[in-house]
Amino acid sequence: MPMRARRGAAAVIAGLLAVAGFTLHRHAGGLLAAIGLDVAAPVENVVALAGGVLGWLGLAYLGVALTDAAVARATAGSLRGPPPRLIQDLARVVLFAAAVVAILAYVFDLPVGGLLATSGVLVAVIGFALRNMIADVFSGIALNVEHPYRIGDWVEVAPGVTGRVAEINWRATRLVTRDQVSVVVPNGLIAGSRFLNYSYPERHYRANLRLALDAAIPVERAKRILLAAALGAPRVLAEPRPQVQAEGLDERGVCYVVRYWVADYADDNPCRDAVMSNIARALQQAGIGPAFPHREVALTRPAERRARMGLADMLRRVALFREFDESDVEVLAAMARERPFREGERIVAQGEAGDSLFLLAEGALDVRVAAAEGERPATVDRMLPGEVFGEVSLLTGQPRSASICAATDGIVYEIRKEHLEPILRRRPRLAEELAALMSRRQSANRERMEAASTAPGAPPAAAEHHDLLERLRGFFGLS
């Protein structure tokens, strides 16, 4: 039976009991005689008293049922979980206490005025002794009326005390932390101090991550690196978009704050870990170490030379160049052309001719594939610093297989055919290794690309390897 129907049935039963009880209380003798029972006066009085007690208790229960229905109706449209039981519990206490007083006064004809006066003194004594607990109770009532938080919300009631609201009772609120530790906080303490609700007015909220980088690093470059890392982190919401701001200066360098949005406070730690891990990888790819207070004079290389050495390190980490000699990698790093780009700029277009490879040094790029001519390209991947694209065009001269668009500002380095040709002519066996590597990479990417393309499937791996090798040799004029 649905909850609404059960509440309705309970209210009807309580009303019938109240009517039956009051009727029996006023007309006990007549009702007993009507059903053929001839009882003594004491028995008739007991039946009448029982009817009066039943009537008042039934009336109190009817009030409880109506209160529950009113609270349920008032919170029916709420998306923040079930309402606390404190209001219903308070209504029960008040209604049944009133029923007891009414029974004493109207059923047993006892003088309740003196009783209430005497009990008032007793209540004052007890209230003074339990004033803190009573304050917590009334604070709980105020919290339930205002609803600053509900069951399931994540709240921070004190520095280091954050948890999900599991229960709100008469005296306290019970929280469960992310370590699955139960924390009981008196309602008076919460009502009398400032607390944070991470689940209201919306479940998602903005988190901040602060770090310092060396002041020698240009601010715009640092922002590009940090923003790309935040955009590429899993669990971080794409909208609203992450932001990076320079917050200040100290003895370590420039202080930055990375602001990103989290779907729910329960995801705060995983999101922070993902963002920090991405930032660490991006800084490593860019050749940037942690900032520390400067207390010594150091001889540094010119900025251009440092950048080229960092590029050589990045090239060594790319699988395509792992078989190259150290000297060959340094030559490529020295000849590579730096190409800054702006957010929204298209680096290469699908289907256009090309004979160069690009290494992403800073920023983030989107890989977009058009299923058919005239259709809107679909974003199939996001590239982060250290990744390369365009290697097939560099080695075989084939048209670009996808469009690469800038998700943030950044920098790529371009390696052209004329940069690589002297190395391949000097070491022809590299052609076979490069063809095998390209074949494996294309096989790994095939499933992802076919999801966004209706083009026919690729040939078998052996045939693909042979085809790539022949194209590479023909493109570079190798025997």
Per-residue pLDDT for 228 more than 90?
yes
CA-nearest of 185, 233, 193, 188 to 209 is 233
- pLDDT for position 154: 94
Per-residue pLDDT for 463 more than 70?
no
- pLDDT for position 217: 92
- pLDDT for position 427: 84
Percent of the chain with pLDDT over 70: 77
The label of the residue with tokens 């277009």 reads 349
Mean pLDDT within 433-450 = 71
The residue among 123 and 282 whose pLDDT is bigger is: 282
In the sheet with 346-348, reading across from the earlier edge strand, the strands are 346-348, 403-406, 365-369, 378-383
Mean pLDDT within 189-209 = 89
The first and second tokens of residue 59, run together, are 């009336």
Mean pLDDT within 142-163 = 85
Q: Residue 69: what are its φ and ψ, rounded to 5°?
A: -65, -40
Mean pLDDT within 163-178 = 88
The first and second tokens of residue 252, run together, are 């370590």
Torsion of CA 432, 433, 438, 441, to 10 degrees: 140
- pLDDT for position 431: 78
Per-residue pLDDT for 183 more than 90?
yes
Distant-in-sequence contacts of 75-82, Cβ < 8 A, 24+ apart? 78/150, 80/147, 80/150, 80/152, 80/153, 80/199, 80/200, 81/150, 81/151, 81/152, 81/153, 82/151
Mean pLDDT within 423-434 = 82
Which one of 112-116, 234-238, 442-446 scores highest in mean pLDDT?
Answer: 234-238
The residue among 317 and 306 whose pLDDT is bigger is: 317
Q: ∠ at Cα 400 (394, 404), nearest 5°?
A: 105
The per-residue b/e assignment along 252-284, b for 16 or more CB within 10 angstroms, e otherwise, is bbbbbebebbbeebebbeebbebbeebbeebbe
The residue among 190 and 240 whose pLDDT is bigger is: 240
Cβ-based neighbours of 150, under 8 Å, separated by 6 or more: 78, 80, 81, 83, 84, 165
- Amino acid identity of residue 100, one-letter, is V
The label of the residue with tokens 């029974």 reads 103
Least confident of 16-20, 257-261, 281-285: 16-20
- pLDDT for position 145: 67
**pLDDT tens-digit profile of 83-131?**
556 667 777 888 888 888 888 887 887 777 666 666 666 666 666 555 6
- pLDDT for position 42: 75
Classify domain 144-197 by CATH number.
2.30.30.60
Per-residue pLDDT for 393 more than 90?
no
Cβ-based neighbours of 61, under 8 Å, separated by 6 or more: 10, 14, 17, 18
The fold of 205-285 is Alpha-Beta Plaits (3.30.70)
**pLDDT tens-digit profile of 351-380?**
898 889 899 999 999 999 886 776 778 888
Mean of per-residue pLDDT scores for the chain: 81
Please write down the HEC assignment for all residues of the chain: CCHHHHHHHHHHHHHHHHHHHHHHHHCHHHHHHHCCCCCCHHHHHHHHHHHHHHHHHHHHHHHHHHHHHHHHHHCCCCCCCCCCCHHHHHHHHHHHHHHHHHHHHHHCCCCHHHHHHHHHHHHHHHHHHCHHHHHHHHHHHHHHHHCCCCCCCEEEEECCEEEEEEEECCCEEEEECCCCCEEEEEHHHHHCCCCEECCCCCCCEEEEEEEEECCCCCHHHHHHHHHHHHHCCCCECCCCCCEEEEEEEECCEEEEEEEEEECCHHHHHHHHHHHHHHHHHHHHHCCCCCCCCCCCCCCCCCHHHHHHHHHHHHHHHCHHHCCCCHHHHHHHHHHCEEEEECCCCEEECCCCCCCEEEEEEECCEEEEECCCCCCCCEEEEEECCCCEECHHHHHHCCCCCCEEEECCCEEEEEEEHHHHHHHHHHCCCHHHHHHHHHHHHHHHHHHHHHHHCCCCCCCCHHHHHHHHHHHHHHHHCCC
- pLDDT for position 79: 45
- pLDDT for position 412: 94
In the sheet with 337-341, reading across from the earlier edge strand, the strands are 337-341, 410-416, 356-362, 388-389
**pLDDT tens-digit profile of 257-276?**
999 999 999 999 999 999 99
The first and second tokens of residue 269, run together, are 């730690």
- pLDDT for position 464: 64
In residues, how long is the chain? 479
Per-residue pLDDT for 306 more than 60?
no
The residue among 20 and 257 whose pLDDT is bigger is: 257
Per-residue pLDDT for 478 more than 70?
no
Classify domain 303-476 by CATH number.
2.60.120.10
Residue 135 — very low, low, confident or very high, per pLDDT cuts 50/70/90? Answer: low
Domains of the chain by residue range: 3-129, 144-197, 205-285, 303-476
